Amino acid sequence: MGFLNLVIITPLYMQLLGMSVGMPLIKYVLIAVVPFNLIKGALISAVFSVVYVRMMPWVKAQAASFKH
C-alpha cells in the first residue's frame, strides 16, 4: 500500500487539491503514510481478533443448526 501511496494515491490527491507537502514525496510517504497504515492495520487486527473470539460460539451454533 505504501507503494501505491507513493506512485498513485498521494500524487493524485495533491494534484486534485492543488497542494504541496514541502518535502520530497518519498519522505512524506515514509514519515506520514506508512506509520499511519501500520497503526491502522494493528488496530483493525486487534478489533477483528476481539470480535472473532466473541462471535465464534455463535458462528459454531449457527453452523451446527444448518447441518441436517
**Whole-number pLDDT of residue 21:** 85
Confidence of residue 3 (pLDDT cuts 50, 70, 90): confident
> How far, in Å, CA of 64 to CA of 55, rounded?
14
46 in Cβ contact with 52 (< 8 Å): no
Tell me: pLDDT of 68 over 80.
no
User: What pTM did the predictor assign?
Assistant: 0.69
Contacts within 8 Å (CB) and 24+ apart, 51-55: none
> How far, in Å, CA of 58 to CA of 55, rounded?
5
35 in Cβ contact with 55 (< 8 Å): no
Place of cell 495533491: 14
